């Protein structure tokens, strides 16, 4: 079984230590908050308020790891010598930010409502494939721009593929499963996860891949390799 506790422990450690591990930036801000896991009864209560099955991998994260893992960081003021490296990875200079921040399990029913409203009351309603993604996925990361990372339970319920739900573009599968994504995301320093950042690490299949030269350069830049 995937070691959720170890993954969370490494994510929290990376975020706390980033200021020392990333000497290439003038200012690094980070926050770490890891709440205890859910009980079985709490998960049952949350599930009773939804109309979708919670995939087992995500349920295990909340039951074994944390009901709300919230780590975040932002690296500002890149030193001039590494600006070309940043531009080589992302195409232009940007602040580097990210963090292993997953939604609070207790708020899952509200996120379902948000996804349903977006599917039925916006442009998505006119595009069957995107509408299906929004209506048949279980979100686990919410971004400030309105996008989500989610698990598509249309066919597979326990170990479904992972979807990038985009509010202003086509949604797509970017990982084979929840734990596949967690594995690659860790090796990408929990970057983003907005699409303009993740797309730099997608392979020809569209899946996130942490084995590329760009990924290695990112790890070196943030002191993670």
Residue ranges and CATH numbers for the domains of the chain are 4-221 (3.40.1580.10)
pLDDT at 200 over 90: yes
Q: Could you report the per-residue pLDDT of 37-73, keeping only the tens digit for each?
A: 999 999 999 999 998 899 999 999 999 999 999 999 9
Strand arrangement of the beta sheet that strand 172-175 belongs to: 137-142, 148-152, 162-165, 172-175
Query: Which pLDDT score, from 0 to 100, does residue 223 have?
Result: 84
Q: Comparing C-alpha atoms, which of 177, 206, 176, 174 is closest to residue 193?
A: 174
Q: Quote the pLDDT of residue 20.
A: 83
How far apart are alpha carbons 47 and 64 in whole angstroms?
A: 17
The pLDDT tens digits of the residues spanning 145-188 come to: 889 999 999 987 778 999 999 999 999 999 999 999 999 999 99
Single pTM value for the model? 0.94
Residue 92, pLDDT score:
81
Q: pLDDT tens digits for 85-102? A: 899 999 887 789 999 999
């Amino acid at each position: 079984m995937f070691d959720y506790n170890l993954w969370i422990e490494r994510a929290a450690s990376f975020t706390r230590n980033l200021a020392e591990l990333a000497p290439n930036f003038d200012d690094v801000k980070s926050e770490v908050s890891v709440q205890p896991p859910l009980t079985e009864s709490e998960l049952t209560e949350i599930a009773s308020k939804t109309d979708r099955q919670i995939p087992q991998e995500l349920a295990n994260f909340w039951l074994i790891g944390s009901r709300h893992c919230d780590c975040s960081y932002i690296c500002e003021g890149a030193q001039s010598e590494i600006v070309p490296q940043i531009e080589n990875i992302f195409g232009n200079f940007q602040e580097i930010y990210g963090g292993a921040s997953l939604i609070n399990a207790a708020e899952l029913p509200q996120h379902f409502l948000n996804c349903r409203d977006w599917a039925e009351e916006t442009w998505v309603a006119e595009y069957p494939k995107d509408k299906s993604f929004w209506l048949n996925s279980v979100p686990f990361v919410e971004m400030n721009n309105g996008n989500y990372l989610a698990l598509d339970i249309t066919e597979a319920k326990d170990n479904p593929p992972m979807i990038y739900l985009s509010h202003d573009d086509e949604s797509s599968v970017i990982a084979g499963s929840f734990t596949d994504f967690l594995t690659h995301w860790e090796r990408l320093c929990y970057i983003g996860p907005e699409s303009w950042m993740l797309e730099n690490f997608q392979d020809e299949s569209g899946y996130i891949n942490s084995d590329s030269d760009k990924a290695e350069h990112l790890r070196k830049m943030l002191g993670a390799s």
